[in-house]
């Protein structure tokens, strides 16, 4: 799933929860025809779902290629593969099982096309994590579902911005369970994924990674908690022993409050809010969520369904636009590094 079939990258797009702002930010982004010169969008949705929003948003002079199969995708057009219930009626801002089912239909169809190499990457609009729950989707969010579909042993939520790349050891875990979920083995596994991604997805040859502490003041030498001494430091030392340039643990407040974070290529936080609060402070509305560690590229905007403004036509599409750009760039980086690795292998064989 890493081999790009042509120079024009195909980006599969799942529409998320239709009662949120997903379809709105997708359409606002793709209404700029210049994007079609960079990649070919393939939306997995439904004709009426799309056209109802086109009318409501008063989007003009935008043409769609409505198709029943990815085999009919055309470059230079906004392709919409029909996979969802055409009888859906929008009820903006309201959680509903029907909307959740549609978000899953879109996501599962996009993933199936990704597995079949019919699209080169996946960009996901926000889901409602409760509405989407079903016998087919029993996961806390996109990340865990995609990891399962990829049959990957692990993955890493990595928030991207111009200021930093921030990953989290424990993702969608209640705060009072973070400490019991931490282990040196888990931290080392996340460091390994982050190090590999920084090299292969971002073309950084020798990435430097900062590791956050768990407790205030990074435990203050054990006074405020033992996790740094007993779990985090051993993980950092193990990472160094296998060639990963990991440093820390750092107290998160001083680390992000000063310019220290600018000295690193990647940052590993211990839990969700420790990483995502600075990430969204740096770039809320334009940041990107990237799932590192998968065999395919997946990005999403840094916001949720935004039910409170859904249907009002005021949603900002900047983050979704950046997610599309990032997916295309990551595909190209990954392909380039595969080619470089294959070239190096050929050279090394010729010398033996």
Q: Say how many C-beta atoms besides its own lie within 10 A of residue 245's C-beta.
A: 17
Provide the whole-model pTM.
Answer: 0.90
Q: Please tell me the distance from the alpha carbon of residue 227 to that of residue 274, in angstroms, as a whole number.
A: 16
Tell whether 276 and 301 lie within a shared domain. Answer: no
Q: Average pLDDT, stretch 111-127?
A: 97
- Kindly indicate the confidence band of residue 4, based on its pLDDT and cuts at 50, 70 and 90: very low
What pLDDT does 1 receive?
47
**For 321-350, how does the pLDDT look when each residue is reduced to its tens digit (9 = 90+)?**
999 999 999 999 998 888 887 766 455 555
- Given 270, 290, 310, which residue is the final one in a domain? 290
Please report how many Cα atoms fall inside a 13 Å half-sphere around the Cα of residue 101, on the Cβ side.
8
Residues 164 and 235 in one domain: yes
- The mean predicted confidence, pLDDT, of the chain is 93
User: Among residues 250, 275, 290, which one ends one of the domains?
Assistant: 290
Domain count, the chain: 2
Are 159 and 273 members of one domain? yes
Least confident of 37-51, 84-98, 192-206, 234-248: 84-98
d(CA 290, CA 123): 9
pLDDT value at 284 more than 80 = no
CB neighbours of 95 closer than 8 A, spacing ≥ 6?
Answer: 19, 128, 130, 131, 307
Report pLDDT digits (tens) over 297-309: 999 999 999 999 9
Distance CA 40, CA 226 (A): 51
Rounded to 5°, the CA angle 34-202-78 comes to 25
Q: Which pLDDT belongs to residue 349?
A: 52
Looking at residue 221, what is its pLDDT?
Answer: 87
Range of the domain at 126: 1-152+294-352
Percent of the chain with pLDDT over 70: 95
DSSP 84-116: S-TT----TT---HHHHHHHHHHHHHHHHHHHT
> What are 136-194's pLDDT values in tens digits?
999 999 999 999 999 999 999 999 999 999 999 998 889 999 999 999 999 999 999 99
pLDDT, residue 88, reads 87
Based on the domain organization, do 314 and 271 belong to the same domain? no
Question: Do 123 and 159 share a domain, yes or no?
Answer: no
């Amino acid at each position: 799933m890493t081999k790009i079939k042509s120079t024009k990258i195909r980006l599969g797009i799942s529409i998320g929860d239709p009662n949120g702002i997903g379809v709105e930010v997708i359409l606002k982004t793709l209404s700029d025809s210049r994007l079609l010169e960079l990649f070919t969008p393939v939306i997995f949705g439904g004709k009426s779902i799309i056209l109802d929003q086109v009318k409501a948003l008063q989007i003009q002079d935008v043409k769609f290629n409505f198709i029943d199969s990815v085999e009919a995708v055309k470059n230079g057009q906004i392709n919409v593969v029909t996979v969802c219930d055409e009888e859906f009626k929008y009820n903006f801002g309201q959680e509903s099982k029907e909307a959740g089912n549609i978000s899953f239909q879109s996501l599962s169809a996009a993933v199936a096309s990704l597995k079949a190499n019919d699209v080169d990457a996946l960009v996901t609009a926000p889901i409602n994590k409760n509405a989407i729950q079903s016998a087919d989707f029993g996961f806390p969010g996109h990340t865990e579902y995609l990891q399962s579909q990829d049959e990957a042993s692990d993955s890493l939520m990595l928030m991207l911005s111009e200021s930093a790349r921030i990953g989290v050891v424990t993702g969608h875990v209640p705060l009072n369970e973070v400490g019991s979920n931490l282990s040196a083995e888990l931290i080392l596994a996340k460091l390994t994924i982050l190090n590999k991604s920084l090299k292969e997805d971002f073309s950084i040859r020798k990435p430097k990674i900062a590791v956050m502490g768990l407790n205030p003041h990074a435990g203050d030498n054990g006074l405020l908690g033992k996790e740094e001494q007993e779990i985090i430091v051993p993980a950092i030392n193990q990472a160094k022993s296998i060639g990963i340039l990991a440093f820390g643990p750092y107290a998160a407040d001083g680390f992000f409050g000063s310019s220290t974070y600018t000295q690193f290529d990647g940052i590993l936080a211990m839990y969700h809010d420790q990483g995502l609060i600075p990430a969204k402070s740096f770039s809320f509305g334009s940041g990107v969520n990237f799932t590192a560690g998968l065999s395919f590229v997946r990005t999403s905007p840094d916001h949720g369904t935004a039910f409170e403004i859904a249907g009002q036509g005021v949603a900002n599409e900047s983050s979704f636009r950046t997610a599309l750009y990032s997916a295309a760039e990551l595909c190209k980086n990954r392909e380039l590094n595969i080619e470089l690795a294959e070239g190096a292998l050929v050279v090394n064989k010729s010398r033996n």
